[in-house]
Amino acid sequence: MKRLAKRQPRSPVKELPWRQLLPGAVVLGLIVAARLLGLLQGLEWKMLDTLLRWRPAEAIDERILIVGVTEDDIQQAGTYPIPDQVLADLLVTLEAANPRAVGIDIYRDQPVEPGHANLVTVLATQPHVIWAEKILNEPPILPPPALPPEQAGFVDVPIDGDGFVRRLLLGADGPAGDFKFSLSMLLAELYLAEAGLFLENGRRDPAAMRFGDTEFTLITPNTGGYVKGDVGDHQILLNVRSGATPFRQVSLAEILAGTVDPAWIEDAIVLVGMTAPSVKDIVNSGAIASDNPGLIYGVEIHAHATSQLISAVLDNRPLLRAWPNWVDYLWILLWGGAGIMLIRWVSSPAWYLLGLGLGGLGLVGVSYGLLVLGGWWVPLVPALLAFTVNGLVLSGFYLYDQALRSRLEERQRVIEQTYNAIHNGPLQTLALLLRDSGETLSWAEALPKLSEMDQDLRNIYESLLHSAQLPGQQGQVSPDGAADADYPLYEKLYEIYTETLQRDFPGFKSLSANLVNFEPLKADDLSPDDQQALCHFLEEALCNIGKHAVHATRLTVTCMATEAENLIQVKDNGQGPTHGSPNYGSGGRGTRQAKQIAQRLGGSFQRVSTESGTCCELRWPIQQPTGRWLG
304 with 426, same domain: the answer is no
Which tens digit of pLDDT belongs to each residue from 466-498? 555 544 444 333 334 334 556 788 888 888 888
What is the CATH classification number for the domain harbouring 490? Answer: 3.30.565.10
Q: Answer whether 200's CB lies under 8 Å from 210's CB.
A: yes
Give the pLDDT score at 36.
94
Cross-sheet strand order for the sheet of 101-105: 152-154, 129-133, 101-105, 269-274, 64-69, 248-251
Lowest-pLDDT range of 124-128, 266-270, 402-406: 402-406
Which tens digit of pLDDT belongs to each residue from 50-106? 999 999 999 999 999 999 999 999 999 989 999 999 999 999 999 999 999 999 999
Give the pLDDT score at 608.
87
Does residue 522 lie in a domain region? yes
Which tens digit of pLDDT belongs to each residue from 363-409? 999 999 999 999 999 999 999 999 988 777 666 566 666 666 667 76
pLDDT above 60: residue 17: no
Give the pLDDT score at 585.
45
Residue 127 CA to residue 142 CA, distance in Å, equals 18
Does residue 17 lie in a domain region? no
Lowest-pLDDT range of 31-35, 228-232, 237-241, 374-378: 228-232
Residue of higher predicted confidence among 128 and 447: 128
Give the pLDDT score at 624.
63
Phi, psi angles (nearest 5°) of residue 295: -110, 120
Give the pLDDT score at 471.
43
Which tens digit of pLDDT belongs to each residue from 274-303? 999 999 899 999 998 777 767 899 999 999
pLDDT above 50: residue 140: yes
b/e code 339-362 from CB counts within 10 Å (16+ = b):
bbbbbeebbeeeebeebbeebbee
Q: What is the mean pLDDT of residues 25-50?
A: 93
Q: How many CA atoms lie within 13 A of 397 on its CB side?
A: 19
Give the pLDDT score at 535.
86
416 with 313, same domain: the answer is no
Q: What residue numbers bound the domain in which 256 lies?
A: 41-322
pLDDT above 90: residue 429: no
Does residue 349 lie in a domain region? no
Q: What band does 1 get if pLDDT is binned at 50, 70 and 90?
A: very low
Lowest-pLDDT range of 117-121, 180-184, 293-297: 293-297
At 517, which helix (H) or strand (E)?
strand 513-518
CB-based contacts of 422, cutoff 8 Å, min separation 6: 457, 460
66 with 212, same domain: the answer is yes
Does residue 19 lie in a domain region? no
Does residue 626 lie in a domain region? no
316 with 460, same domain: the answer is no
315 with 463, same domain: the answer is no
pLDDT above 90: residue 25: no
Residue ending a domain, among 322, 342, 359, is 322
Does residue 149 lie in a domain region? yes
Give the pLDDT score at 423.
64
% of the chain residues with pLDDT over 70: 78
Give the pLDDT score at 411.
72
When mean pLDDT is compared over 18-22, 32-36, 396-400, the highest value belongs to 32-36
Number of domains present in the structure of the chain: 2
Cβ of 471: how many Cβ atoms within 10 Å? 7
Q: Answer whether 106's CB lies under 8 Å from 281's CB.
A: no
Which tens digit of pLDDT belongs to each residue from 539-556? 888 888 887 787 888 899
301 with 428, same domain: the answer is no
pLDDT above 50: residue 14: no
Lowest-pLDDT range of 278-282, 445-449, 477-481, 610-614: 477-481
180 with 287, same domain: the answer is yes
pLDDT above 80: residue 450: no
% of the chain residues with pLDDT over 90: 52
291 with 413, same domain: the answer is no
pLDDT above 90: residue 522: no
290 with 413, same domain: the answer is no
Q: What band does 459 get if pLDDT is binned at 50, 70 and 90?
A: low
Does residue 358 lie in a domain region? no
Q: How far is CA 330 from CA 239, 284, 373, in A?
A: 25, 32, 21
260 with 134, same domain: the answer is yes
Q: What is the mean pLDDT of residues 506-521?
A: 84
Give the pLDDT score at 441.
63
pLDDT above 90: residue 8: no
Residue ending a domain, among 275, 305, 322, is 322
Residue ending a domain, among 305, 322, 339, is 322
Phi, psi angles (nearest 5°) of residue 109: -85, -10
Residue of higher predicted confidence among 131 and 494: 131
Phi, psi angles (nearest 5°) of residue 196: 80, 20
90 with 215, same domain: the answer is yes
308 with 442, same domain: the answer is no
> Is 450 strand, coil or helix?
helix
Give the pLDDT score at 528.
81
Q: What band does 455 get if pLDDT is binned at 50, 70 and 90?
A: low
Does residue 9 lie in a domain region? no
